[in-house]
Structure 1
Amino acid sequence: MNHLAKKLHWYALAIVVFIADQATKSYIDATTPLGWLHKVTSFFNLVHMLNPGAAFSFLAGAGGWQRWFFLGIAIVVSAWLVLQLYRPLRKLEALSYSLILGGALGNAFDRALRGHVIDYLDFHLHGWHWPAFNIADMAIMGGATALVIASLMGEERPTAANEPR
């Protein structure tokens, strides 16, 4: 089995994250009006919101240039992640990179196609709302968290000869 074949499941995971993200965003966009809110529990709503900025709506009101800026960053980071996934990695690192790649591609696709990211998950407590988010955001945060954990574990990276599958 060649090296790329051993890595395909990590790329497949990124594709699954991308597809799940795009499917849910497309469903929300097609079935609910912008600004829609549906109370699910006392602390969680489904919503239909647009975010032209980055995390926490960073630069959302910047006038439009941020679309191309964040799209460019996502493309560069995604290319870097594709290359990293080809290298010998610990399983937790590969999982991290796969999740981040799928999320980055999901949000990049939104920016390229729609000019903004669709967010629909809204958690709140006593009137305080966490910024709305989506599957891509969860994958990026989960991947980043797993990457921090992997770096704290301090294990050496495998070499190509003894790399885990």
Structure 2
Amino acid sequence: MTVLGRGSENDFNREGKLGDLFFLFFIYQEINKSLKESKKMIIITNNPKVKEEVQDREVLFKDTTYIGILEASRDLIHEGYELLSHPLYGSVKPNETPYRTVVLKKGNRLDINSLTLIEEAIITASKFQNNKKTPKWTESVQDDFRVIDYDIFYNTIQRMQYE
């Protein structure tokens, strides 16, 4: 039946179904984009080896101290990022190595667990620094610490399902 030139009822149903398909496809694309963004990691480091070796991920290199990296990570957490790696990982004490690499992901709100963990890490690292400052290591020893930090970081992200 044609009403006011609208075509048949079957034409209307086809157009309605086609519109539904376009809408579902649009929703699918938005969800897929959102999931991809939520899996995107950011690496913040003061380790030149990480900066040099990692080409397929976003690396935020900072020319700062161990504690400076923790503080920069805290700033990102306040912007909605979440920790993916523990800020005090490894067996090297915060006052022994000058290098730290932290892995975060973009979230959509302030993650209180990440904030608590990074604040506690800053306090702990500061206590170590107050007890004994990081020595002025030789280039060879610094290179060893760069390799240690990179190796721990690399093995950590190999276990993650993030881009």
If the length of structure 2 is used for normalisation, what is the TM-score? 0.27
Which structure's CA Rg is the greater one? 2
Higher relative contact order (CA 8 A, sep 6+): 1
Structure with higher helix content:
1
If the length of structure 1 is used for normalisation, what is the TM-score? 0.27
